[in-house]
Amino acid sequence: MIRQPDFVTKEIVDIAFEHVEKKKPYPFLNDVRFATFQDGLSVQMLHVGPYDDEPQSFKVMNEFIKNNNLEKTSLQHREIYLSDFRKVEPSKLKTVLRYKVKPIE
């Protein structure tokens, strides 16, 4: 997932896709979606560093979930990339990691 600024609309994305298709067809373009997500109650953390180190951040998140009487609603998580891995050195990459959770009843 890559967060988009508020001024980016579906219409703008459609125009951009048309330009890409004409200029240089990309084989995975049809797999890209422009959508809004409402995750509800979540636990999230800003992970700074290489993607390979994300398990350390997930461990911190899981401890928080356990200590705050929460449980994950799914084993899936979201990763929101705030940095461009092609331009930022791995130690400075920023990624928001997020689990959907619910209180334990």
Residue-wise pLDDT for 53-100, tens only, equals 999 999 999 999 999 999 999 989 999 999 999 999 999 999 999 999
pLDDT at residue number 49: 97
Look up tokens 């994300």; give the residue. 54
Burial 46-79 (b: 16+ CB within 10 A, else e): ebeeeeeebeebeeebeeebeeeebebeeeebee
Count the Cβ atoms, other than its own, within 10 Å of residue 93: 19
What is the rounded distance in angstroms from the CA atom of residue 37 to the CA atom of residue 35? 6
Percent of the chain scored above 70 by pLDDT? 100
pLDDT tops 80 at residue 16 = yes
Percent of the chain scored above 90 by pLDDT? 69
Which CATH class for the 40-105 domain? alpha beta
Question: Which one has a higher pLDDT value, 17 or 37?
Answer: 17
Prediction pTM value: 0.73
pLDDT at residue number 60: 98
Q: Are 24 and 18 in contact (CB under 8 A)?
A: no
Domain ranges of the chain: 1-36, 40-105
pLDDT tops 80 at residue 101 = yes
Count the Cβ atoms, other than its own, within 10 Å of residue 95: 22
